[in-house]
Amino acid sequence: MNPRNSLNFSGGPGVLPESVLRQAQESVIEVPEVGLSVLGISHRSDWFAAVVSELETNVRTLLGLPNDYHVLFLQGGATQQFSMVPMTLLRGRGRPAEYLHTGYWSGKALPEARREGQVRVLWTGETDGFRRLPSDAELCFSPDAAYLHYVSNETVEGLQFHRVLGRDDVPRVCDMSSDFLSKPCEAERFSLIYAHAQKNIGPAGVTVVLVRDALLKDVPDDLPGFLDYRTHVQSHSNFNTPPVFAIWVVLLVTRWLINEIGGLARMAELNRTKADLIYNQLDSSAGFYRGRAATADRSTMNVAFNLASPEMEKRFLAEASGAGFSGLSGHRAIGGIRASIYDGLMLPAVEKLVGFMDEFRRRQRNVRVSETSA
Amino acid sequence: MNPRNSLNFSGGPGVLPESVLRQAQESVIEVPEVGLSVLGISHRSDWFAAVVSELETNVRTLLGLPNDYHVLFLQGGATQQFSMVPMTLLRGRGRPAEYLHTGYWSGKALPEARREGQVRVLWTGETDGFRRLPSDAELCFSPDAAYLHYVSNETVEGLQFHRVLGRDDVPRVCDMSSDFLSKPCEAERFSLIYAHAQKNIGPAGVTVVLVRDALLKDVPDDLPGFLDYRTHVQSHSNFNTPPVFAIWVVLLVTRWLINEIGGLARMAELNRTKADLIYNQLDSSAGFYRGRAATADRSTMNVAFNLASPEMEKRFLAEASGAGFSGLSGHRAIGGIRASIYDGLMLPAVEKLVGFMDEFRRRQRNVRVSETSA
């Protein structure tokens, strides 16, 4: 196995578990029970129908999802959902949708929603540079909203909600792209959850949508087939050729979560342990490493931080790369450093990173001391 | 290597060349120049920018594509293009688009176009059961059409146009999903060409779009970002996370076409040789195998045929499967047998299939003779 994969802290597409990569690799030449490359198996085959069916069951099992939810596997990423959600739930409704603007990705959802109807931005962190999330006291949810939309984990800024927002009488719609299947999420309190695969659960190219059946009662009838959730419900995510390989790898990840990890509560513990290690390193660095996010809103998936200067950050990234780490550059929108510690990034890799951070910090202090004494 | 892959006559996702599968397999663990799994490499990396750039160059080289065309790699399959094309070129234009209805897939494009404006169906083969394509004499193209849309190769029925249709003063839009990069296609005579990957050029999950720059001058401004070709042009197919793995495999296929096959003229010869072998077997079978398509419109990609009865077809498929062949069932819409012989399906596999067909036919004749004499 390639050791660099295990030290891949990329914000996405992210690292996948070693056992998943090994099975995915084998399947490119042969899926044993079919005898063919996964890349050449028909999406209308019994094998693929079983893949989708098992994957749906695994997602239900992991989340304890009630039966009145559909589990869909679509294309187009979260970006397509930024449009599909308001096309389905806002167009022609005459009621506003409520959106939270908590970072880069929730901001991307706004213009697409505004094309379809009235959008009420309940709170924005833009003036603060997206360094914290709103408290309950800052949010006033209306009972007349068409729905509430928010992003559970802001990948770029490293901000994560550690509670469910909104009212029970207004449908909650949540973009969980970067923390889906990283912990239990009280899925039954949401009407629609979407998450693209390329953080925790698979390669780029597939998006999971969980949608409560009751939400699809009044869908506009003028939507193109591929933008109508009902089309995908009726066809069991096989309306047109789905991304077979990506869906297959997501199945492998859910098997790993169930059989090797032992479920989402255990996954959450592991993710909390990994995150604490890095945040403790930030907090004990006497300001050498400066976490971006307010302490209460820190993400267990993306740890975003800065060093004293862009030059120091550049040196950190260069030395980290030399030590075998990848993907630690912050998102191009804000720069800095970001350690993404998705499900597939294992504890030993985090321990190694923290060791490197500690050692780098001491080395820089010694450089400063020797520069001062020189 | 797995021998069953080489005998995969699936209509799609289709077989890929052995050398491509081998490289794709290796890359799931490690892309050598990056040191990471292809599934965990950022779509914003220099490596992926180079993949897209080389792929674009390869497509241009293979097709001799002029510089005023954009080469895009999108999600959503041909189905998404069924909508994007009329959203871009028909919505609000006040002029009809002309469509040909030559089979299963061109029929799927019609309702999506009708959502966006007036559609004039110039010809339909529906009453004939889609067994032939129109002659020039049957087609009257108008100079006032917004565009002409047709499908170059009907995958289900095995019908292929062996000429370019339409007028030079009306934009030609062509769904080349199942014969793209199987032969030179006079791309410069089309304003927009689209093709999903999963026949000749890669795994399911990515769609190639070639679009002439002039066609994007008057695009409606109310389109969601991901449905606006201009968004993808401006972002070099990296507007939101693209299907990295699928695009990478398409690059491997284009390298194979250029370096191992020697270009599209040579690929066309090979495809013609493969198709002729099977059609000759049909024609010399004294009616035992009955080709679906009119001789002049026979596809070099999909050879659709019937046997005397559904029972005989079932026996044929069972014995073929036993002999190591896969994917020979006809499309669920029409049944029968279909041998799909895409670029990656090599001549020895076709020779083996023809040998099997010949032997099966003789065996059935002997069964009949012995049944008669019993």
Residue to mutate among A7, A28, A155, A235, with most B CBs inside 10 A, is: A28
Please check whether residue A235 touches B, CB under 8 A: no
pLDDT score of A371 more than 80: no
Structural domains in chain A, CATH included, are 3-14+263-373 (3.90.1150.10), 18-260 (3.40.640.10)
**B222: number of Cβ within 10 Å:** 10
What is the structure's pLDDT at B368? 72
Q: What's the average model confidence in pLDDT over A170-179?
A: 98
Residue A256 is given by DSSP the state I
What are the DSSP calls for A330-355, one per residue? PPTTT-SEEEE--TTS-HHHHHHHHH
Distance CA A364, CA A288 (A): 10
Residue A28 CB-half CA count within 13 A: 26
Task: Specify the residue for token string 């297959």.
Answer: A248
A288-331: pLDDT as tens digits: 999 999 999 999 999 999 999 999 999 999 999 999 999 999 99
Q: Which amino acid is at A84?
A: M
Q: Which one, of B102, B46, B97, B81, lies nearest residue B238 by Cα? A: B46
> Cα distance from B41 to chain A (closest Cα, Å)?
6
How far are the Cα atoms of B281, B298, B320, B328, B367 from residue B286, in angstroms, in the given order?
A: 10, 18, 20, 21, 16
Distance CA B229, CA B237 (A): 9
The values of phi and psi at residue B30, to 5°, are -160, 125
What is the structure's pLDDT at B2? 86
Q: Are residues B190 and B172 in contact, defined by beta-carbon separation less than 8 angstroms? A: yes
The alpha-helical segments, DSSP class H, found in A30-145 are 46-63, 77-89, 104-114
Beta bridge partners of B303: B339
List chain B residues with pLDDT less than 70. 1, 371-374
> Cα distance from B295 to chain A (closest Cα, Å)?
28
Query: Are A227 and B78 a contacting pair at CB < 8 A?
Result: no
B197-212: pLDDT as tens digits: 999 999 999 999 999 9
How far are the Cα atoms of A311, B23, B137, B246 from residue B6, in angstroms, in the given order?
A: 54, 16, 41, 20
Element (H, E) at A308: none
The β-bridge relationship of strands B159-160 and B153-154 is antiparallel
What is the structure's pLDDT at B308? 96
Contacts 24+ apart (CB under 8 A), A108-111: A108/A79, A108/A82, A109/A82, A109/A85, A109/A149, A109/A151, A109/A175, A111/B225
What is the structure's pLDDT at B374? 55
Chain A environment of B242 (Cβ under 8 Å): 204
A225 vs B8, B112, B205: nearest CB: B112
The sheet with strand A290-291 has its strands ordered as A290-291, A302-306, A337-340
B241 vs A40, A44, A198: nearest CB: A198
Q: Are residues A42 and A210 in contact, defined by beta-carbon separation less than 8 angstroms? A: no
Q: Are residues B84 and B227 in contact, defined by beta-carbon separation less than 8 angstroms? A: yes
What is the structure's pLDDT at A2? 86
Please check whether residue B364 touches A, CB under 8 A: no
Torsion of CA B340, B345, B347, B353, to 10 degrees: -50
Work out the angle between the directed axes of helices A347-373 and A310-322 (0-180°, nearest 10).
Answer: 130
> Cα distance from A241 to chain B (closest Cα, Å)?
7
pLDDT score of A212 more than 60: yes
Distance CA B321, CA B337 (A): 12
Q: Are residues A28 and B28 in contact, defined by beta-carbon separation less than 8 angstroms? A: yes
In SS3 terms, chain B reads as CCHHHHHECCCCCCCCCHHHHHHHHHHHHCECCCCECHHHCCCCCHHHHHHHHHHHHHHHHHHCCCCCEEEEEECCHHHHHHHHHHHHHCCCCCCCEEEEECCHHHHHHHHHHHCCCCEEEEEECCCCCCCCCCCHHHCCCCCCCCCEEEECEECCCCEECCCCCCCCCCCEEEECCCCCCCCCCCHHHCCEEEEECCCCCCCCCCEEEEEEHHHHCCCCCCCCHHHCHHHHHHCCCCCCCCCHHHHHHHHHHHHHHHHHHCCHHHHHHHHHHHHHHHHHHHHCCCCCCEECCCHHHECCCEEEEECCCHHHHHHHHHHHHHCCCECCECCCCCCCEEEECCCCCCHHHHHHHHHHHHHHHHHHHHHHHHHHHC
The values of phi and psi at residue B167, to 5°, are -110, 150
pLDDT score of A252 more than 70: yes
pLDDT score of A3 more than 90: no
Distance CA B248, CA B146 (A): 35
A69-86: pLDDT as tens digits: 999 999 999 999 999 999
Please check whether residue B141 touches A, CB under 8 A: no
Distance CA B338, CA B152 (A): 18
- Total number of residues shown for chain A: 374
B114-125: pLDDT as tens digits: 999 999 999 999
pLDDT score of A1 more than 90: no
Q: What's the average model confidence in pLDDT over A12-28?
A: 96
Distance CA B217, CA B298 (A): 37
Distance CA B115, CA B227 (A): 15
What is the structure's pLDDT at B371? 66
Chain A environment of B17 (Cβ under 8 Å): none
The values of phi and psi at residue A303, to 5°, are -100, 105
Distance CA B281, CA B286 (A): 10
- Total number of residues shown for chain B: 374
B327 vs A42, A244, A326: nearest CB: A42
ipTM of the complex: 0.96
A4 vs B21, B35, B115: nearest CB: B35
Residues 312-341 of B with CB under 8 A from A: 326-327, 332
Question: What band does A374 get if pLDDT is binned at 50, 70 and 90?
Answer: low
